[in-house]
Amino acid sequence: MKAMKRERVPGKKKAHQVKIYTLSTCGWCKKTKELLKDLDVEFEYVDIDTLSGDDLVEANEEIKKYNPYRTYPTIVIDQGKHVILGFKDKEIKEKLSG
């Protein structure tokens, strides 16, 4: 199976691996992407609602590991060391500082 397509947003801060699961239609997901850009943190995102077929199945399996509720945005830091559900801006900043 070919790997599902992720969008990579470059940033100067690469101390943490940041993956976010988002919806292209969701205003809170958009806020999350903008916050990470403002923080200049490098991250990858997948807009789940734009996927279909095998990619969708793969993405759903992946997000379920971190967030069984599959709500968006789901922010996964360092392979699940921290998982933040929703646009909790203070928590996102805190976990990514340093």
Question: Can you give the binding site for other proteins, defined by CB under 8 A?
Answer: 23-31, 48-49, 56-57, 60, 68-72, 85-88
- The whole-angstrom separation of Cα 52 and Cα 74 is 19
Q: In whole angstroms, how close is the CB of 14 to other proteins at the nearest point?
A: 26
Q: In whole angstroms, how close is the CB of 42 to other proteins at the nearest point?
A: 23
Q: In whole angstroms, how close is the CB of 70 to other proteins at the nearest point?
A: 6
Q: How far is CA 55 from CA 23, 71, 84, 94, in A?
A: 14, 18, 23, 32
Given the DSSP bridges, would you call strands 43-47 and 82-85 parallel, antiparallel or unpaired? unpaired
In the complex with other proteins, the residue whose CB is nearer, 42 or 45, is 45
In the complex with other proteins, the residue whose CB is nearer, 19 or 33, is 33
